[in-house]
Amino acid sequence: MFIKTTQPQHALIEQLLPVMVQACDILNQEFQQYCSGATFDVEQKNDNSPVTQADYRVNHYLTQALAEISTLPLLSEEGEQSQRQAWHEFWLLDPLDGTKEFLHQRPEFTINLSLIRGAVTTFAVLAVPGEHNIYFCPEQGMPLKYHILTQQWYVYQANDHTTSILNIGLSHSSQSKPQYSAYLQALAELTEYVELKAGSAYKFCMILEDRVDIYPRFHPTSEWDTSAGQCLLERIGGGLVDFQGRAFLYNQRDTLLNGGFIAYKNAKMKQIALQALGLMAK
- Structure confidence by residue, pLDDT tens digits, 122-134: 999 999 999 999 9
pLDDT computed for residue 221 by the predictor: 95
Whole-angstrom Cα distance, residue 256 to residue 253?
7
Q: Which of 111, 137, 156 is a domain's end point?
A: 156
Is residue 126 located within the same domain as residue 214? no
Is residue 221 located within the same domain as residue 277? yes
pLDDT computed for residue 176 by the predictor: 80
Mean pLDDT across 22-33: 98
Is residue 106 located within the same domain as residue 146? yes
pLDDT computed for residue 159 by the predictor: 85
pLDDT computed for residue 13 by the predictor: 98
Is residue 256 located within the same domain as residue 275? yes
Query: What is the residue-averaged pLDDT of the chain?
Result: 96
Is residue 177 located within the same domain as residue 222? yes
Report the DSSP beta bridge partners of residue 194.
167
SS (H, E, C) the chain: CEEEECCCCCHHHHHHHHHHHHHHHHHHHHHHHHHCCCCCCEEECCCCCEEEHHHHHHHHHHHHHHHHHCCCCEEECCCCCCCHHHCCEEEEEEEEECHHHHHCCCCCCEEEEEEEECCEEEEEEEEEHHHCEEEEECCCCCCEEEECCCCEEEEECCCCCCCCEEEEEECCCHHHCHHHHHHHHHHHCCCEEEEEECCCCHHHHHHHCCCCCEEEECCCEEHHHHHHHHHHHHHCCCEEECCCCCECCCCCCCCCEECCEEEECCHHHHHHHHHHHHHHHC
Is residue 112 located within the same domain as residue 201? no
pLDDT computed for residue 252 by the predictor: 96
Residue 175 pLDDT level (bands cut at 50, 70, 90): confident
pLDDT computed for residue 98 by the predictor: 95
Is residue 79 located within the same domain as residue 178? no
In tens, the pLDDT along 192-215 reads 999 999 988 999 999 999 999 999
Distance of CA 202 to the CA centre of its chain: 6
CB 5 within 8 Å of CB 154: yes
Is residue 130 located within the same domain as residue 35? yes
Is residue 127 located within the same domain as residue 61? yes
For a pLDDT cut of 70, what percent of the chain falls above it? Answer: 100
Residue 101 pLDDT level (bands cut at 50, 70, 90): very high
In tens, the pLDDT along 231-277 reads 999 999 999 999 999 999 999 999 999 999 999 999 999 999 999 99
pLDDT computed for residue 177 by the predictor: 87
Mean pLDDT across 105-127: 97
Q: What is the CATH number of the domain that holds 208?
A: 3.40.190.80
Asked if the model's pLDDT at residue 162 lies above 80, the reply is no
Residue 165 pLDDT level (bands cut at 50, 70, 90): very high
Is residue 144 located within the same domain as residue 175? no
Domain interval for residue 272:
165-281
Reported residue count of the chain is 282
Q: What is the CATH number of the domain that holds 31?
A: 3.30.540.10
Is residue 11 located within the same domain as residue 100? yes
pLDDT computed for residue 161 by the predictor: 73
Asked if the model's pLDDT at residue 72 lies above 80, the reply is yes
Count up the domains in the chain and report the number: 2
Q: Which of 134, 156, 178 is a domain's end point?
A: 156
Is residue 11 located within the same domain as residue 144? yes
Mean pLDDT across 26-50: 95
